[in-house]
Structure 1
């Protein structure tokens, strides 16, 4: 049994590496290696290539969870969003996904669920990188966190609590809110702080998926364990880049 499980994991690791090598151009790979990620406004209506191999986030997120999350759940949101866009005649050349989310109350429930799902997941993929020794931000972002939450540890505790205490499925968020202050909160299902229907509003910098499919294979019902481990794969270079963009 153990041999079969090991072989399956190795297959998924190799498949993940092959998929990324095929799907990403050298330019894109080089950009991600330097810590660059598209800004939130550049997240599109279509699923983009995963910026790392399925096994890149292990042991925090296992290869099987990553493969299923990206190729099944994430892909399904993108596909259903395409159907909603066609049915509701949205000109995606003129209306960005971020702008659509800002007026989501004018659209169908299908549009709301899948536009949110597409945006949230694309932001989530880009918010993570292989575990490294860099476990906290620097510069102006760190200064802002320490100013608005008293310390980085206090920020982590509050954000972790937002994820742990979100009832059912949803997301925990760090956003730039009113007066450019940092705010932590959560949203249900696939809602996000860009939506005009959301109680939490702001420019999202960091989002954590706390739907069970994001962690259940490895952590079962231990959501707090998943969140505590997840801090080790946050790509602070990308979050700092979003923070800078939000203040322009």
Structure 2
């Protein structure tokens, strides 16, 4: 069995005007699909066979134990597949999901950051300040304590020994230029600000519940 491209729960253009349909289509069917193809190829190789059949989460968690000949390929493309699979679930058309955190998630944000606006401000700084390509993350660490971090390239907080601060991601933003350049050109902060309008807080709350139980995000990762 090989990994396959997940379907979106919404149309490519459903996040407009904040995320344009052309970018969504290219981002998913070209960039994300390339990570999947490269990951599958590495797992089919002799050196990658030891991880064949592993879950996407397990590949990310254990990438440092892979043979050196395939470690970088698995790190870049396993991370790329995990990060994007999660990213699509973290967005929803305006009005189709909760527009703000509530319940236990909001309590955790308030306790850690002093409020949602303060959390967003810190997250925005992490996203805008990531040099080059990468991601910004809201995560749960030891004891479920929330923290914000960023990672380069397609690394993610599940990657022990790779991520600067490992943890369980509950919200992530892609700040590679291919995620925003067609609409926002070099105006990354404008893209970051616009993205909050389509964050699916229902899904973030679900991932926070997962993290509270010591689990990485429970996602549908299709196989073919």
* TM-score interval (norm. to shorter): 0.7 to 0.9
Q: Aligned pair 1:78/2:51, yes or no?
A: no
**TM superposition score normalised by structure 1:** 0.80
- SS of the counterpart of 2:79? helix
| Structure 2 CA distance for aligned equivalents of residues 121 and 106 of structure 1 | 23
User: Match for 2:7 among 49, 52, 60?
Assistant: 49
Gaps in structure 1 of 5+ consecutive residues: 1-43
User: Match for 2:141 among 150, 172, 177?
Assistant: 177
Output aligned runs, 1:106-121, within 5 Å.
106-107=65-66, 108-121=71-84
| Structure 2 CA distance for aligned equivalents of residues 236 and 67 of structure 1 | 23
User: Match for 1:244 among 204, 209, 215?
Assistant: 209
For structure 1, which segment, 100-109 or 215-224, has the greater mean C-alpha deviation from structure 2 after superposition? 100-109
**TM superposition score normalised by structure 2:** 0.88
Q: Is the 8 A contact 2:99 2:199 kept in 1?
A: yes
- SS of the counterpart of 1:55? helix
Q: Is the 8 A contact 2:135 2:154 kept in 1?
A: yes
| Structure 2 CA distance for aligned equivalents of residues 135 and 221 of structure 1 | 27
User: Match for 1:60 among 18, 26, 47?
Assistant: 18
Output aligned runs, 1:194-205, within 5 Å.
194-196=158-160, 197-205=162-170
Equivalent in the alignment of 1:89: 49
**Aligned residue pairs: how many?**
204
Equivalent in the alignment of 2:60: 101
Output aligned runs, 1:107-146, within 5 Å.
107=66, 108-132=71-95, 134-146=98-110
Q: Which structure: larger Rg?
A: 1
Determine which structure has greater relative contact order: mean sequence separation of CA pairs < 8 Å that are 6+ residues apart, divided by chain length: 2
Q: CA RMSD in A?
A: 1.3
